[in-house]
Amino acid sequence: MEGFDKKDDMQEGDSKFREEIFSKAVRAGKRTYFFDVKATRKDEYYLTMTESKKRYDQEGNFHFEKHKIFLYKEDFEKFSDGLSEVIDFIKASQSMEDAEIEIDMTMSENEEDDVIATKDYTNVDFDDLNN
């Protein structure tokens, strides 16, 4: 199929042909999040959220691992409510942990050593389990 180019075969209404309407990239540590507004063939907007992480194979070559979520306008409110509820819960929980840390600082040195040992023991990074 010499001379055939997929772009030549695409029509203006194809979603792959359309440019993104709005895009926002957020770098957060080792991850980058992409928020992209796109349009359906009927010109209804939807959101794609992509998490991209740089991964290395055993030879040291890298590739990007991507996870994508499509969110349509009829789900925006429920998604937003759920996300807000979870974020509020985490913030409240983290505030409680901060208060516990302040209380722990008033303990004697021996009690503090016990608390630190317990915290180190319960802090498991699941990525380390695969090694």
pLDDT at 103: 56
pTM of the entire structure? Answer: 0.55
How does pLDDT run across 68-88, given as a tens digit for each residue?
999 999 999 999 999 999 999
- What are the distances in angstroms from CA 15 to CA 9, 49, 117? 13, 16, 54
Give the pLDDT confidence of 36-73 residue by residue, as tens digits: 999 998 899 999 999 999 888 888 888 889 999 999 99
Please name the helix (run of DSSP H) or strand (run of DSSP E) that holds residue 39, with its range, or none: strand 31-39
